[in-house]
Structure 1
Amino acid sequence: MKHFLRALTQFFGFLYCKCLWRTLKFVTRKVTGRCELQRICYSSKPGARRTLKIESSLKFSKSKLLQSAVSVHPDCVEKVIDDIMTLKKIKSDTNPQLGVSLQASLLQIAGYRSLLGEVEKLRREPYDSENPEHEDMLLKLWKTLRPDAPLTGRITKQWCEIGFQGSDPRTDFRGMGLLGLQNLLYFAEHDKSAALQMLQDSLQPRHSNMSKAEWEKTTLDKAIGYSFAIVGINITDLVFSLLASGALKTHLYNVAPETPSLTHFQQTFSYLMQEFHKFWVEQDPCDIMEFNRIRKTFHKKVLKQLNNPNMTLCPHFAASDLLLVNL
């Protein structure tokens, strides 16, 4: 009975808030002479704050046309804007800014949805050692990170030198598929100095006063504490989860003037790889067994930062010099 009453109270509370919200919208339009979309576009600066408000307004509108606008194909954005202007009885010649602002935001919304589909497709594509393109990417990753050490064979313990778990990296890509490899290669190629520094750091002993003989006997779990490639696949999973949950909208709507792309996603990965490295060093873990705890804490930290609609993860390179900045 208590649960029923609670549910009933929540239901009527929802109805009350919804009715109150619509009443306020109606009154505000009568007072200002502008619909909600106009007020958002004229009072909010471009970026996440504006686009998130527009997305919410469209999603919770009682108009089917406005609701469908959040799932419009990029090629149909201009027509949808014309339909919205007609529905709202807004003349484009006297309100030119509205069309421009709506177009930018709708392209961001459609682009985010398209990017999620593209990333999900890569994540679901398994690494295929019989696929020449997949093999070329993997060998390119090795040559970028270990340019002076030719591989002795395709299946070799040398892969552990860049942070894979065994003799064949193929098995490590099972969780993130081709997406994990593409992210690692993008980072290694586009921010090479930072990637090489991270790899070197990850292999250093935790205590600098170790003798050369002691260091040669040191296993990876006694070094700074992680395997570079495996961490890259883990951070790929973290960035994917941010994208899938919608948390990354704040960042992408702030850095992509129109359509977010795979490059934006990969830049975000490159940045968070380095941020995680710094965070790991600051935490000074005893061993690799603390990885899950530190990763979870790091995830919460990033989520908290992304709760601010004015916040962006700066995408420019070299990413090693980046900080979170306010727009």
Structure 2
Amino acid sequence: MKHFLRVLTQFLVFLYCKCLWQGLKFVVRKVTGRCELQRICYNNKPGARRTLKIESSLKCSKSELLQSAVSVHPDAVEKTIDDIMVLKKIHPDTNPQLGISLQACLFQIVGYRNLVLEVEKLRREPYDCENPEHEDMLMQLWKALRPESPLTGRISKQWCEIGFQGSDPKTDFRGMGLLGLHNLLYFSEHDKATALQMLHDSLQTKLSKMSKAEWEKKKFDKAIGYSFAIVGINITDLAYSLLVSGALKTHLYNVAPEMPSLVHFQQTFCYLMQEFHRFWVEEDPCDIMEFNRVRNKFHKRVLKQLKNLDMALCPHFTASDLHLVNL
């Protein structure tokens, strides 16, 4: 009986709050002469602050048109905005900037959704050693990280030099599929100097195995000691979890002026790799057995950063800098 009364009370409170909220929205519209979408666009700058509120407003709307707007095809975005303007009785001539702002937000929303699907497709595609394209990508990764060391064979202990666990890297891609390889290759080719430095650092032995003179000569501040490729696949998993959970919306809505793409995701991966490297050095773990602890702590720190709606993890460019209309 007590459980029933508690559930009933919660239900009645929910109904009261919902009715109160709808009534408040009605009063505010009458007083200001603006609908909720207008108020959001007028009171928030371009980026996550605006787009997240627009997304929430559309999803919580009673209108089927507004609810379905967040999942339309990109080609249908412009027509959807026109339909919303008609539904809300907003004349485009008197509110010319509103349509542009809503369109930018909707492109970000549907773009994020499509990015999740694209990333998921790559993650689900297993590495196939019989596929020439897969093998070619793997060879490109070796050449990018070991340009002066020819690979003696497809199956070789040399793969351990760049941080794979055994003689055949394909076994390490099982968790993240082709997504792990795509990210490692992108990092190694587009941020080559950093990738090579991280690989070099990761191969350094612990201080206990070196004399103090050798340590000072090499100028290492701290010992590293992790497997570069395996860490890359683990950080791919971290980036993937941030994406599918929606936590990465804050960052991507702030850096992608319209539709977030795979390149934005890969740039984010590069940032996370560099930041994890610094974090690992700061934590100075005893050995690789502490990897999960350090990774989980790093994950929590990134999640905390992403709660800031103005956060851009790697601001190569931001929505505000590209002069999106700010009502």
1:236-287: per-residue Cα shift (whole Å, max 9, x none)? 0000000000000000000000000000000000000010010011001011
The corresponding residue for 2:30 is 30
The corresponding residue for 2:322 is none
The corresponding residue for 1:121 is 121
The corresponding residue for 1:131 is 131
What does residue range 124-203 of structure 1 map to in structure 2 within 5 Å?
Answer: 124-203=124-203
Give yes or no for contact 2:255–2:316 (8 Å, CA) kept in 1: no
What does residue range 78-117 of structure 1 map to in structure 2 within 5 Å?
Answer: 78-117=78-117
In structure 2, the residue corresponding to 1:311 is in which secondary structure?
coil
Give 5+ residue unaligned stretches, structure 1: 216-222, 318-327
Opposite residue 154 of structure 1, the aligned amino acid is R
Opposite residue 130 of structure 2, the aligned amino acid is E
Give yes or no for contact 2:250–2:307 (8 Å, CA) kept in 1: yes
Is it true that 1:260 corresponds to 2:246 in the alignment? Answer: no
Instruction: State the alpha-carbon separation in 2 of the partners of residues 18 and 296 from structure 1.
Output: 37
Give yes or no for contact 1:264–1:315 (8 Å, CA) kept in 2: no
Alignment coverage as a number of residue pairs: 310
Q: Which has the higher contact order (CA 8 A, sep 6+)?
A: 2
Instruction: State the alpha-carbon separation in 2 of the partners of residues 27 and 120 from structure 1.
Output: 43
Give 5+ residue unaligned stretches, structure 2: 216-222, 318-327
The verdict on how the C-alpha distance between 1:133 and 1:46 changes in structure 2, with shifts beyond 3 A counting, is: same
In structure 2, the residue corresponding to 1:312 is in which secondary structure?
coil
Opposite residue 142 of structure 2, the aligned amino acid is W
In structure 2, the residue corresponding to 1:273 is in which secondary structure?
helix
Instruction: State the alpha-carbon separation in 1 of the partners of residues 143 and 192 from structure 2.
Output: 12
In structure 1, the residue corresponding to 2:312 is in which secondary structure?
strand
Opposite residue 161 of structure 2, the aligned amino acid is E
The verdict on how the C-alpha distance between 1:98 and 1:203 changes in structure 2, with shifts beyond 3 A counting, is: same
Is it true that 1:46 corresponds to 2:41 in the alignment? Answer: no
Q: CA shift at 1:70, angstroms?
A: 1.0
In structure 1, the residue corresponding to 2:71 is in which secondary structure?
coil
Moved over 4 A (4+): none
RMSD: 1.8
The verdict on how the C-alpha distance between 1:315 and 1:125 changes in structure 2, with shifts beyond 3 A counting, is: farther
The corresponding residue for 1:218 is none
In structure 2, the residue corresponding to 1:314 is in which secondary structure?
coil
Determine what percentage of the aligned residue pairs are the same residue. Answer: 82
Instruction: State the alpha-carbon separation in 2 of the partners of residues 131 and 94 from structure 1.
Output: 57
Instruction: State the alpha-carbon separation in 1 of the partners of residues 257 and 82 from structure 2.
Output: 21
Q: CA shift at 1:211, angstroms?
A: 5.0
The verdict on how the C-alpha distance between 1:227 and 1:2 changes in structure 2, with shifts beyond 3 A counting, is: farther
Instruction: State the alpha-carbon separation in 2 of the partners of residues 270 and 299 from structure 1.
Output: 15
The verdict on how the C-alpha distance between 1:316 and 1:208 changes in structure 2, with shifts beyond 3 A counting, is: farther
Give yes or no for contact 1:108–1:256 (8 Å, CA) kept in 2: yes
The corresponding residue for 2:220 is none
1:172-203: per-residue Cα shift (whole Å, max 9, x none)? 00000000000000000000010011001111
Opposite residue 33 of structure 1, the aligned amino acid is G
Opposite residue 200 of structure 2, the aligned amino acid is Q
Instruction: State the alpha-carbon separation in 2 of the partners of residues 263 and 315 from structure 1.
Output: 13
Instruction: State the alpha-carbon separation in 1 of the partners of residues 49 and 302 from structure 2.
Output: 18
In structure 1, the residue corresponding to 2:207 is in which secondary structure?
coil
Give yes or no for contact 1:267–1:315 (8 Å, CA) kept in 2: no
Is it true that 1:234 corresponds to 2:227 in the alignment? Answer: no
Give yes or no for contact 2:186–2:266 (8 Å, CA) kept in 1: yes
The corresponding residue for 1:73 is 73
In structure 1, the residue corresponding to 2:259 is in which secondary structure?
coil
- TM-score between both structures, scaled by the size of structure 1: 0.92
1:124-151: per-residue Cα shift (whole Å, max 9, x none)? 0000001111001001100110111111
In structure 1, the residue corresponding to 2:247 is in which secondary structure?
coil
Opposite residue 139 of structure 1, the aligned amino acid is M
Q: CA shift at 1:19, angstroms?
A: 1.2
Instruction: State the alpha-carbon separation in 1 of the partners of residues 12 and 200 from structure 2.
Output: 60
Give yes or no for contact 1:116–1:244 (8 Å, CA) kept in 2: yes
Opposite residue 196 of structure 1, the aligned amino acid is L
Instruction: State the alpha-carbon separation in 2 of the partners of residues 285 and 60 from structure 1.
Output: 46
Opposite residue 269 of structure 2, the aligned amino acid is F
Q: CA shift at 1:209, angstroms?
A: 7.2
Instruction: State the alpha-carbon separation in 2 of the partners of residues 280 and 235 from structure 1.
Output: 12
Instruction: State the alpha-carbon separation in 1 of the partners of residues 260 and 296 from structure 2.
Output: 26
